Amino acid sequence: MSGTLISTIVDSPPADAQTPAMKLASARSWFLAVSLIAAPLLQAQYFFPQTKTMEKLSTATLGGGCFWCVEAVFEQLPGVHNVVSGYAGGKTDNPTYREVCEGTTGHAEVCQIHFDAKVISYQKILEVFWLAHDPTTLNRQGNDVGTQYRSVIYYHDAAQQTAATKSKAAAGKDFRDPIVTEISPLPKFYEAEQYHQDYFLLNPNQGYCNAIIAPKLRKLLQDGVISDKK
C-alpha cells in the first residue's frame, strides 16, 4: 500500500466534519485499501489451486490426421481434463494454419492431451489412439492427404518412449498392413489458433464435423472406446 494512500486514510478528518465530497473520497480510499489487501488472498484461493492441478496432470502429444478429429475423440475420455490442438515437428517457428496446410513447414497437426494418470493411464490413451485413426496410411487419413496429417507419437520422457514402442508393437497385430506411426521425442509445440480449439464441440453442424467426426464418435461410442461426457 502506498504512503499516499495510507496518509489519505489516516489523516482524514472526523466523519461529522467531512463534506459530502470528502466522505466520497474517504470511502474510495477505504475501498482501494481493502482491494489491495484482499486481492492477493483471492488470488491464492482461486488461482493457485488451478496451477497445482495442472502441475499434477500428465501430457500426451499425438497426431492422427486432422486435429479436430483427434481433439473430439480424446475430449470424451474420463480422466482427460483438457485437449489443445496445435502443430509440432516442423522447421517453421510460430506456424499458421494456412502455412501448415500448404505442407511446407514440416509440422504435423497434433493434440496435447492433459490427463490425470490416476484415472486414465498413458497406455490407455495409446490404445484409444490406435482405434481412433488408421496408423497404416502414410501421411494420410481418409481424404486428408499431406505430411501434416501423419500418424505420430511425440513422447515426453523415456517412460513414454518405452510405452509407445511396446504399444505400437502390440497394436500391429490388429492391422493387416504395417503401422507407419512415427515415434519421436517431443519437439516444440505451437498452440493452434483459438478458433481451432474445441472445434467439434463449438461447430457440430459444420460440414466436416457432420460428415467425418460425428460418425467416428458414434462408432467409437458404440464400441465402448469412448464415453459420452455430455
For 195, the grid coordinates are 478458433
Per-chain mean pLDDT for the chain = 84
Q: How confident is the model at residue 19 (pLDDT cuts 50, 70, 90)?
A: low
Q: CB count, 10 Å around CB of 174?
A: 10
Contact of 60 with 160, CB cutoff 8 Å: yes
CATH code of 52-222, in short, is: 3.30.1060.10
In angstroms, the CA 134 to CA 181 distance is 9
Q: Which residue has the cell 517457428?
A: 93
* Each residue's pLDDT tens digit, 41-74: 434 444 334 444 566 999 999 999 999 999 999 9
CB 126 within 8 A of CB 153: yes
Catalytic residue among 66, 69, 111, 209: 66
Q: How far apart are CA 109 and CA 197, in angstroms?
A: 12
Identify whether 66 is a catalytic site residue: yes
pLDDT one-digit tens code per residue, 113-165:
999 999 999 999 999 999 999 999 999 999 999 999 999 999 999 999 999 99
Angle of helix 122-132 relative to helix 214-222, nearest 10 degrees, comes to 120
